[in-house]
Structure 1
Amino acid sequence: MGKRAATARGRGRGRGAPSRRGRARRRPLAPLLVLGLLVGVLSIGAGAAIAHWRSGGTAAGSAAPAGTPRAEPLMSPDTSPSADPEPSASASPRPTVSASPKMSPPASGPPRVPASGKGTFTVAQATGAATGTGTLRRYKVEVEDGIDLSARQAAAEIEDILAHPRGWAAHGRGRFQLVSSNADFVIRIATPVTADRLCLAQGLNTRGELNCETVEGVVVNLKRWMLGSPTFAGTPAEYRHLIINHEVGHEIGIRQHMGCPGPGRPAPVMMQQIKGLNGCVSNAWPHDEDGTYLTGPPA
């Protein structure tokens, strides 16, 4: 009986209770089941998060705290690094971006000014009404060929400058009229090389930088017209007032350049402001807002 009982106990241990080796093999099943459940839960949560991100709202069952600003995604769905699992059958490839008139031009610096042009000129075909009082002076505007500047637009701008309330015409210094022929003087806008040539014919060295007055009229350096002056505290458009008013000032008989009347005061329009202000403040008009002529000591 002891042998049989011993045999029975041996058989019972072999069939009913797993051995130490058997228990070692079966023990990882429980952690694996737990891990599998966690992966499933995380997958469901990730799917909900992706759906929430695409919709841009809050996930179902959760509300954002009051006063919390809506968070925008860092990337739009179009630039998501992963493709949609079920793309639409009607989806088309993203078109490539090409330049078109509707696109805004990229930010850039100052406009490029050509150093030279063709040396010939186009006359602005425009006629305006006479402005001001006194002696009538008819002028025409010419722009050098081969540059990106409309003669007609330049003429319209010059006409506005001469009719400005603080200009020469508004204070009895003369009447001015834009014409396309039979002019008393001409205002030419030329590239630096051409401007130098025209000015040098009058014995004036403008060094590719300055404007000048000739026997025919005014030569405006395109560089100054487009870029203004580094010493002038204003826009290029405002500096054009100074160019025209200064050179037309010579045309109406003001031969002498002027200096700064004192620190902090407006620079006279007949001062060569591009050469420095000497303590004065930039100014583009012959008169102040009260109609007082702005003058200074002889330069």
Structure 2
Amino acid sequence: MPETAGRAAAVAVLALAVAGALTACEQQPVAAPAAGPVVMAIGEATSVPPPPAEAAPVTQAAPVEVAITFPRTGSGQWMFTPGSDEVAGKSGKLMRYRIALETDIDGVGPATFAKAIRGILGDPRGWTGGGEWRLQQVGPGDDADFTIYLATPASRDKLCGGTADGYTSCRNGSNVVLNVARWANAVPGYGAPLDVYRQYMVTHETGHRLGHGHELCPGAGRPAPVMEQQTLGLHGCVPNPWPFPNGKSYAGPSGEYDDPIPAGDS
């Protein structure tokens, strides 16, 4: 994902307690971690000065997709993005969320990532589609109902608690933890473009924060419910990242499969 042009200097440093009584993820529920990371708030430049009048015109090439690189074990330092005035959804309870990226991740621009998250959570096919929820991204110093982390595999394990797998994403209390390995590479054999998988992982883990449990494939060839553990297997369904794919609620039977979790961070 291309970097955006403007990143300003860090504007604040604060400590964040990572708390929560229940983890809902693509494994079994586990206990919450006892402590959290140090975080930094970042902003981006609001304007760019014009080039000198005598400068020759520059022809710019089309944006190029930047490779996403990351270590298995990150620093546990987090860049929090500024908030937004946008509120997704027209009715329902307002849930505020923050966005943080681990500093060791390269190839993901914070502003671009935040825009992608807002786009997914604000899509009318997403959780705001039923009129039960409204969603708004807020800044690091604002009260928030949950925080979305883009984390290296080892930091994913710390934030998620329980048995470390370095592979899945999770929801642990008020933490929605996106494993950067999945954001960068999706999963083998998913059968849909990377953007669709990213929509799924954000919507699935946020769905846990909004109180939804796991669901099963309702029938071969049908769209997978967004709360099916699509990372671990589709069980005859086809990929689907939305709870309201056609403007109507779509779900499957409650339950989960006993799928093995692949090894590694790829």
Same fold (TM over 0.5): yes
* Alpha-carbon shift at residue 269 of structure 1 (Å): 0.3
2:119 is aligned to 160
Deviations 1:118-147 (A, max 9, x none): 111010013232111211100010000122
- For structure 1, which runs of at least 5 residues remain unmatched after alignment? 1-100
2:93 is aligned to 135
Pair member with larger Rg: 1
When you count strand as a share of all residues, which structure comes out higher? 2
- For structure 2, which runs of at least 5 residues remain unmatched after alignment? 1-58, 257-266
Please give the alpha-carbon distance, in whole angstroms, between the structure 2 residues aligned to 1:257 and 1:195. 20
* Alpha-carbon shift at residue 290 of structure 1 (Å): 4.1
Please give the alpha-carbon distance, in whole angstroms, between the structure 2 residues aligned to 1:129 and 1:122. 21
- Residue 184 (structure 1) aligned to one of 145, 148, 158: 145
Does the 8 Å CA contact 1:288/1:294 hold for their aligned counterparts? no
Residue aligned with 2:255, SS: coil
2:180 is aligned to 222
Say which structure, 1 or 2, has more relative contact order (CA 8 Å, 6+ apart). Answer: 2
Does the 8 Å CA contact 1:260/1:278 hold for their aligned counterparts? yes
Does the 8 Å CA contact 2:174/2:209 hold for their aligned counterparts? no
1:282 is aligned to 239
Please give the alpha-carbon distance, in whole angstroms, between the structure 2 residues aligned to 1:134 and 1:107. 37
Q: Structure 1-normalised TM-score?
A: 0.60
Please give the alpha-carbon distance, in whole angstroms, between the structure 1 residues aligned to 2:145 and 2:103. 22
- 1:258 equivalent to 2:249? Answer no
Indicate the larger mover: 276-285 or 126-135.
Answer: 126-135
Residue aligned with 2:83, SS: coil
Does the 8 Å CA contact 1:131/1:176 hold for their aligned counterparts? yes
After superposition, the Cα gap between the structure-2 partners of 1:102 and 1:292, relative to the gap in structure 1 and judged at 3 Å, is closer
Q: Structure 2-normalised TM-score?
A: 0.67
Aligned residues: 194
Does the 8 Å CA contact 1:124/1:140 hold for their aligned counterparts? yes
Q: How many percent identity over aligned positions? A: 37
Query: Residues 187-206 of structure 1 correspond to what in structure 2 (within 5 A)?
Result: 187-200=148-161, 203=162, 205-206=163-164
CA RMSD across the alignment? 2.4
When you count helix as a share of all residues, which structure comes out higher? 1
Please give the alpha-carbon distance, in whole angstroms, between the structure 1 residues aligned to 2:229 and 2:190. 11
Does the 8 Å CA contact 2:129/2:244 hold for their aligned counterparts? no
